[in-house]
Amino acid sequence: MNAESAANKKIYLLVLVAALGYFVDIYDLLLFLIIKNKSLTDLGVPADKLTATGLSLMNWQMAGLLIGGILWGILGDKKGRLSVLFGSILMYSVANIANGFVHTIPLYATFRFIAGIGLAGELGAGITLVAESMTKEKRGYGTMLVAGIGLMGAVAAYIVGDLFQWRTAFFVGGGLGFLLLALRLGVFESGMFQKMAQTQVKKGSFLMLFSDKKRFFKYLNCILIAVPLWFVVGILVGIAPDFGKALNAKELLDNGKGVMFTYIGISLGDFLSGSLSQVFQTRKKIVYIFISLTFVTILIYLFRTGWTAFEFYTLCLFFGLFTGYWVVFVTMAAEQFGTNLRATVTTSVPNMVRGSLILVSILFQWLRTEIGIIHAALAVAILLVALAFIALYNLEETYGRDLNFVEE
């Protein structure tokens, strides 16, 4: 085997391991959304408290993601990308197994918080490794495969959550994580990180993102372009039964099945948006198109009444397809910043987006009591999409950028 073939084999293994890691990450991240009503009912939560309790637990998980996104990002720039890949999956695997044993809501919240911290490290470390290990012309295909394959973990979560008791579903997630640890032994560290680690440049300083005005707004803009995605998943699909009642749906809109179809769509959307960004050699224009289509789909959802279950699940596919710019968004974040801050940014930005659901859900819940669920959702959607467009306008095009640079 010549040197080029050996190098390509290592790249293929890296992409596969990163993709499978994200698969397990998404399985565990979305599992709670899929089985929350089943688990909370089993734990004795009254029917009229399911939505409020579920949102509260989701916020605990998102708070963990926020904190973990910062911690794992800093660790990835200081100690290496591999340390995050191993440490994060170990933490959330243990937390999910523990979650299968809970019998009280406070303990449930505790382990969702710990799991959230662990789940925060997976995507950023994987994308950073792949982006730094592949050529600038082909890295978009590598990150596309990581996200596209990984997002199918939501489908696995729905199938396992539907076929098995909710506690078993958590045990399966933890077990998958431990199996993945063995596969990771053959993965190599980023050459860019190893070269940067030998220098005296400041590494993994989260405060550097706030010490320079231009750098801060670049970081903020990276976050804002993807907030509409999690609003769709966490609110519009996440509490679909509530929307179904308000929209006079003819059948129950199952949020668990809706999440599954949404993530099938997101996976397909990641392949589509990732491919288009490579073919047309632009990240920004592709994201513009996908955000616009997302907003159109939101309007169709909120202004149409009498939904059937089949129509809703079909809509969820389109929700997913058009919010499937996730991979391009994460790749853009990785390409915006230097090697000494790249893991910090690429790990924290997706989790800031996920964690933003806390503020979004608080705003949505308040507006819901004032103007009703439909108008509240519309108002929040308009706000988030407008902010996403402004943020995207302010970001630089990064297709084909050389990543071998540092932040001073």
Inside any domain, residue 2 = no
Domain assignment present for residue 221? The answer is yes
Residue 5 lies in a domain: no
Average pLDDT value for residue range 160-185: 86
Which three-class secondary structure state does DSSP give residue 334? helix
pLDDT in tens, 201-241: 888 788 888 988 999 999 999 999 999 998 999 899 988 99
CA 164: distance to chain centroid?
25
Residue 150 lies in a domain: yes
For residue 1, pLDDT beyond 60: no
Looking up tokens 């407008």, which residue turns up?
Answer: 386
User: Predicted confidence band at 126 (pLDDT cuts at 50, 70, 90)?
Assistant: confident
CATH number, domain of 75, equals 1.20.1250.20
Could you tell me the pTM of the whole model? 0.85
Predicted confidence at residue 323, as pLDDT, reads: 94
Residue 399 lies in a domain: no
Domain ranges, residue 364 = 10-186+206-394
pLDDT band for position 87 (50/70/90)?
confident
- pLDDT band at residue 149, thresholds of 50, 70 and 90? confident
Write the DSSP assignment of 208-220 as a string of letters.
HHHHSHHHHHHHH
Q: Does 371 or 144 have the greater pLDDT score?
A: 371
* Own/partner pairs, 104-111, CB within 8 angstroms, 24+ separation: 104/43, 105/40, 105/43, 105/45, 105/53, 105/57, 108/39, 108/43, 108/57, 109/56, 109/57, 109/60, 110/60
307-321 burial code (b ≥16 CB/10 A, e <16)? bebeebbebbbbbbb
What's the total number of domains in the chain?
A: 1
Phi-psi region of 80 (alpha: psi -120 to 50; beta: other; left: phi over 0): left
pLDDT tens for residues 106-120? 999 999 999 999 988
**Residue 7: predicted pLDDT:** 67
